[in-house]
A and B are shown apart, each in its own frame.
Chain A
C-alpha cells in the first residue's frame, strides 16, 4: 500500500463545535456502529501478516469487515469460516506495472479465482482499483488529454467490473464499490459511476485533526461531511459510502505532509471517528491498517497499525474492541425507537449519538467533539471535564456509564436516576456510553395460528392464518415457518395475517407463526400440525410410443416400425430389431406423454450413444455425440391429464447400446415412463418439433406427412417471390449459425417456377425476410432471398438441374449462402447474401406450386438441421 494521502492536509483552522441541544431522536441500531468498523489488511505481505497471532487478534476483536487485495484466498476463507469476517476485495491487476492502467480484461480471471477457490461467501464487496490517479501521476491540473484518457479508462474498468460480476449469478450478493482516488478534483472529473456501482468510495485522512473538525478550507474542506458531499456524491449521488482507508498513524513527531498523533490521542479520536461516519450515513469505514509494517518510529507506513509490529495492542484497538463487545447486537434488521433526552449544564462541545439494541436498551454515546492535540505545536491540549445533566423519560428506570480510558480500557458504573435525570455526568473527549434501560418499554405481541385445511392431499393450497396483536404498539409482520424453513410472511394486517402455502411436500409438518412488533419483539405461536398425503396417480390408457428404427445412424437406410411400450432398452452388443444391424443404427420414438400431476417434471435419458429429447416442442436433452452410458436431464412444467408431444431420437455408433427414458416429479418417484402414460404417434406424423402450415393466402390447403425418413410436402401458392409468399412450410426454430440440408427426391412440375427446397425465415409472416435454396420445376436451381420484411426479392440462378438433387443453406452471422449438389457430398456455391435474421429463425422445408389452387408435391429425405458453433 502506498504512502497515505497528504492532499487533504492543509492549514488548520480550529473551530470550536457548537453545543448540542436537547432534541428527540430516533436511535440507530446499536449493531450499526459495530458493522461500520473495518480495517485494512495485507495478507500477502511477508513477515507482519503471517502466523496465527495476528489472525486471532483480529478475529477476537469482533471486527467484521476487512479490506484486502485478496491475494491470499485461504486466509480470507479462514477468517470467514472461523470468525465470520468478510472481505472487501480490491479488484485490478497491473500487468504493465502499477503506474499503468489496470487491465480490465483480467477482471474475469480475478473473479474466477475467487469463485474457483470457493471464497465467494467470504467476499463482502468488490472495490475498483486503488488510488490509480496517484499511481499514474494524474491530478486535477494535469493536461486535459491525460485526464480524459484516464477518465475513459477508469469508467470502462468500472463498467467492466460491473458487467463481469453481474453476469455471474454467483456474485449477486457481492456489493460493488467505486474506485478510490487521491486527488479530490478527480472525483467530479471522473463523474457519476452509479450505473455500475452501489457505493462510492474515498480515502479521507484527517491527518492529526479530530473527527469533528469543521474542515480547513472552503465549504468545510477536509471534514468528514465535506468528503461525503464533494467526493462521495459525485461518484454516486445516493449510495452510502465505503471509506476504505482512513484513521491515524502514530508518528506524531512528523512536521510535514501527513501528520500523526500519539497513541493515546488515537484512542480518543478513533471511536469518535466511527460515530461521526455513522452520523454522516457512511456504510463502512476501514482503518488503515491492522498492524504496523515495521518498527521504525519515523516511518509512517510502519505506524498505522491497530496492533504494533509485535502484535501488542495499541490503545485504540483496545477501545474499539471494548465498544464492539458492548454494542454488538447482530440479527435481522429492526426499527429502533425514539428517545428524547435533554441536556443541560456545561454542554460546550457536547456530541451525542443514540443507539438501541433489540432488547430495548438504549446506548447514548457522549463526548466532547474537540481536539486534544495541537497540530501546529505537536503538543497535548488539556480538555476540561464538563458536567452535564441528562433528562430522561419516565420509561427509563436504570442507567449505567461505560467510560473509555486513554489505554482503551472500559470501566462501568451504575448511575442513579433522580427525578427523571442523571445529574453530574462528567463528559470528556473520551467517549462515554450511557446505557439506559427500563421496565414496560415494550410488551411482546401475542400470536396464534390456524391452518386450513390441516389435512390435505399433495398439491392442495393450505391457508395459514394468524391472529396477532401488540398491546403497546403494532404488529409489523407475521412470518410462517414449517419447522425451521420460512414459508413466507405477511407485512400488512389488511385482510388479516395470512399466507397461502402451495407445494407442501408429502408428510407431516409442524407450522408456527412468528409475530414481530414495532419494537422488534418476536412472539412465536403455538404449533399446528399439517398432514399432506399423496394423491392417487391417475392412470392413463396409453400403449407406448411409435418407434422407427433405421439401419443407419443418421435416420437413413432400411426401416422397421413398431410400438414400444416403454423406452427401456439395453441391447448390449445385439441388434434392436430384425433387419437392423447391431451397430450404426438410429431410432426415433414419437407420440404423446400424459402427465399425472400438475407439477414440474424432470425427464431423464440414459443413453449410449447420442440422444435428443423434445417434450411439447421444447428440446430438453441434446447430447448428440458418441459416448458411454450417460444420463441427461431437464425439467418442464406439465398439467395433470394433458397429453404433450414427445419425440426421442437416438443413435448407436458401436459397442454397447442403451436407450432409456424416465421421469420424476414431486409426486412421482424416478421411474421409466410407464406404458399407461405413453401414446404412439399415428403413421405419417411429423417428428417433433417440426410443424407444417401454409404461409400466405394459398388457394388450396397444403399438407405434409412423414414416413420412413421421407417427407412428403404438398403445397399450393402463387410463388415465393416479390414482396409476399404463398407456400406450404414445414418448420422448426433454430438459433444462431446452422446448416440446413436435404435431398429433393422428386417434385411435380406444376410450373417451371414451382419450387421445393430449404429456407431460413425470420418468422412465419407472408412478407418475412428469408433466404432459400430450391430446385424449380423447369428453371434449374436457385438461391433466392428477401432482405427486408415486405421488400423485393432477389434471385441467383444455380445450375440447370431438376430433382432428384441436393440443396443446402448455411447461416454464418448475417451471411446466408445457398449450395447445390448432385450427390450430397460435393457442393457448389450458388450465391450468398447479407440478411439480418433474428437470432432464432425458422428452419423450413418449402414447396410452392406457382399455380395457386394447384398442389405441387415434393418428396424430401435426409433432412438435417445442424447448429454450428453456438456453444
Chain B
C-alpha cells in the first residue's frame, strides 16, 4: 500500500517554475556539492503538468542518494517518490520543497541493496486541483 495520501505535506503553494535560474523556464539542476555524477533521468508529460527527475548524488546500493523532482505546468501541493522495479514497489519518501525554487522538491532516497537492472524512480505529485499524477512503467530508469 502506498502511503502518500496519508501524510499530506505542509507546503505553501508556489508557482511552478524552473529550478536553476531563479524563475527562468529552463530546468538547470542545482549543484548540491559539485559532484560530477549528476544526471537528468528524464521528463514525463502528465495531464496538466510535466514531471522531471534528476539524480544529484551517486547511486550506491544500500546507501542513500539525493534526487530532485521538478513539476512544471501546474501548481503542486505535495511530491513523493520511491525506487523500485515495478508498480507499487519501494519505500515512499516524502519530498521537501526547495527554498525559493517553486516546483522543485528534494528527496533523500534509500537505494535498495540489490539494485535491479530495471530499477527506476516512480514519482508522484498532488496538484493544486486535487488530481494526482504519477510517472510510470518506462520513466526515470536509474541505469
Say whether, besides A752-B45, A829-B87, A830-B87, A796 and B138 are in contact (CB < 8 Å).
no
Q: Are B134 and A793 in contact (CB under 8 A)?
A: no
Q: A797-B44, A829-B87 are in contact. Are A791 and B130 (CB under 8 A)?
A: yes
B contact residues, total (Cβ < 8 Å)? 19
Report A-chain residues with C-beta under 8 Å of the C-beta of B134.
Answer: 794-797, 831
Q: Which of B46, B87, B131 contacts A831 (CB 8 A)?
A: B87
Interface string of A777-821 (1 = CB under 8 A from B): 001111010000001111111111000000000000000000010
Given A721-B47, A753-B47, A779-B45, A795:B138 Cβ within 8 A? no
In the complex, which residue of chain B has the Cβ closest to the Cβ of A791?
B130
Indicate whether B88 reaches chain A with its CB closer than 8 angstroms. Answer: yes
User: Among A722, A792, A828, which residue has its beta carbon within 8 angstroms of that of B137?
Assistant: A828
B39 in contact (CB, < 8 A): no
Contact with B along A818-836 (1 / 0, CB 8 A): 0010000000111110000
Evaluate contact between A792 and B47: CB separation under 8 angstroms: no
Query: Given that A780-B138, A799-B137 are known contacts, is A794 also in contact with B132, CB under 8 Å in the complex?
Result: yes
Q: B114: shortest Cβ distance to chain A, in Å?
A: 21
Q: Tell me if A799 and B138 are in contact (CB < 8 A).
A: yes
Q: Does B40 contact A (CB under 8 A)?
A: no
Q: How far is the CB of B75 from chain A (nearest CB, A)?
A: 13
Chain A residues with CB under 8 A of B129: 722, 792
Closest to A787 in B: B132
Inter-subunit contact B131/A792 (CB<8 Å): yes
List chain B residues, Cβ under 8 A from A721: 47-48, 131
The 8 Å CB contact of A795, one of B47, B86, B88, is B47
Decide: A794 and B87 in contact? CB cutoff 8 A.
no
Q: Output the least CB separation between B15 and chain A (Å).
A: 20
A798 touches B45 (CB 8 A): no
B108 at the interface (CB under 8 A from A): no
B133 within 8 A of A: yes
Tell me whether A797 and B87 are in contact (CB under 8 A).
no
Q: Could you tell me the distance in whole angstroms from the C-beta of A833 to the nearest C-beta in chain B?
A: 9
Could you say which of A792, A797, A829 contacts B139, with CB atoms under 8 Å apart?
A797
Bound: A797/B139 CA distance, A: 9
Chief secondary structure at chain B's binding surface? loop
Cβ < 8 Å to A, chain B residues 37-53: 44-48
Q: How many residues of A contact B (CB 8 A)?
A: 26
> Does B133 contact A795, Cβ atoms closer than 8 Å?
yes
CA distance A779 to B136 in the complex (A): 11
Any A CB within 8 A of the CB of B135: yes
What residue in chain B is nearest A794 (Cβ atoms)? B132
Docked pose: A831 CA to B2 CA in angstroms: 11
CB-defined contacts of A722 to chain B, threshold 8 Å: 129, 131
Question: Given A722-B129, A753-B47, A797-B44 in contact, is the A829-B136 Cβ separation under 8 Å?
Answer: no
Contact B46 A797 (CB under 8 A): yes
**Closest Cβ of chain A: how far from B138's Cβ, in Å?**
5
Q: Is the CB of A800 within 8 A of B138?
A: yes
Cross-interface CB contact of B131 among A793, A799, A800, A828, cutoff 8 Å:
A793
When chains A and B are docked, how far (Å) is the Cα of A784 from the Cα of B134? 10
Chain A residues whose CB sits within 8 angstroms of the CB of B135 once the complex forms: 797
Establish whether residues A832 and B136, one from each chain, have CB atoms under 8 Å apart when the complex forms. no
Query: Given known contacts A793-B131, A795-B131, A797-B135, is B88 in contact with A832 (CB within 8 Å)?
Result: yes
Q: Is there an interface contact between A794 and B45, defined as CB atoms closer than 8 Å? A: no
Residues of chain A within 8 A (CB-CB) of B138 are 780, 797-800
* A793 proximity list for chain B (CB < 8 A): 47, 131
* A799→B44 CA distance, assembly (Å): 11
Assembly CA distance A831 to B48 (angstroms): 19
Closest to B2 in A: A832
**Shortest Cβ distance from residue A597 to the other chain B in the assembled complex, whole angstroms:** 55
In the docked arrangement, what's the CA distance between A796 and B4, Å?
14
Q: How far is the CA of A828 from the CA of B129 in the complex (A)?
A: 29
B72 → A minimal CB distance (Å): 15
Nearest Cβ distance between residue B80 and chain A, in whole angstroms? 13
Contacting pair B86 A831 (CB below 8 A): no
Output the least CB separation between B101 and chain A (Å).
24
Chain A residue numbers with a CB within 8 Å of B88 are 829, 832
> Distance in Å from the Cβ of B139 to the closest Cβ of chain A?
6
Q: Say yes or no: B130 contacts A795, CB within 8 Å.
A: no
**B47 contact set on A, CB distance < 8 A:** 719, 721, 753, 784, 793, 795
How far does the alpha carbon of A90 sit from the alpha carbon of B138 in the complex, in Å? 66
Binary per-residue interface labels of chain A (690-733) against chain B in the complex, 1 for a CB within 8 Å, 0 otherwise: 00000000000000000000000000000101100000000000
The reply to whether B132 and A797 form a contact with Cβ atoms under 8 Å apart is no
Chain B residues closer than 8 Å to A779, beta-carbon distance: 45-46
* Closest B residue by C-beta to A792: B130
Give the residues in chain B near A792, CB-CB below 8 Å: 129-132
Residues 121-135 of B at the A interface (beta carbon under 8 Å): 129-135
Partner of B136, one of A753, A791, A796: A796
Chain A residues with Cβ below 8 Å from B48 are 721
Beta-carbon nearest neighbor of B88 in chain A? A832
Chain B residues with CB under 8 Å of A828's CB are 137
Chain B residues, CB < 8 A from A752? 45
Q: Chain B residues near A829 (CB, 8 Å)? A: 86-88
Do B133 and A794 touch (CB < 8 A)?
yes
* Complex CA–CA separation, A752 to B132 (angstroms): 19
- B46: which A residues are within 8 A, CB to CB? 779, 795, 797
Residue of A nearest to B128 (CB): A792
Per the bound structure, the CA–CA distance linking A796 and B131 in Å amounts to: 11
CB of A850, distance to nearest CB on chain B (Å): 10
The CA-CA distance from A667 to B134 in the complex, in Å, is 62
For chain A residues 522-581, which have a beta carbon within 8 Å of chain B? Answer: none
The reply to whether A830 and B137 contact each other, CB–CB distance below 8 Å, is yes
Chain A: which residue is nearest B87 at the CB level? Answer: A829
Say how far A807's CB is from chain B's closest CB, in angstroms. 13
Identity of the chain B residue whose Cβ is nearest the Cβ of A788 in the assembled complex: B130
Q: Which residue of A lies closest to B51 (CB)?
A: A797
- Per-residue 0/1 for B18-48: is the Cβ within 8 Å of any A Cβ (1 yes, 0 no)? 0000000000000000000000000011111
B107 to chain A, nearest CB (A): 19
Known: A829-B87, A831-B87, A832-B88. A798 touches B132 (CB 8 A): no
A828–B139 alpha-carbon span in the complex (Å)? 14
Chain B's closest residue to A779 (CB) is B45
Cα(A687)–Cα(B135), bound, Å: 37
Apart from A794-B131, A797-B135, A798-B136, list 12 A-B contacts with CB within 8 A.
Answer: A719-B47, A721-B48, A722-B131, A752-B45, A781-B136, A791-B130, A792-B131, A795-B131, A796-B134, A828-B137, A830-B137, A831-B87
Would you give 16 A-B contacts (Cβ < 8 Å), ordered by A? A721-B48, A752-B45, A784-B47, A792-B131, A794-B132, A794-B133, A795-B134, A797-B135, A797-B137, A797-B138, A798-B137, A799-B136, A820-B137, A828-B137, A830-B87, A831-B134
Nearest 10 pairs of A and B residues by beta carbon? A797-B136, A792-B130, A794-B132, A796-B134, A792-B131, A799-B137, A799-B138, A795-B133, A829-B87, A779-B45
**Residues of chain B at the chain A interface (Cβ within 8 Å):** 44-48, 86-88, 129-139
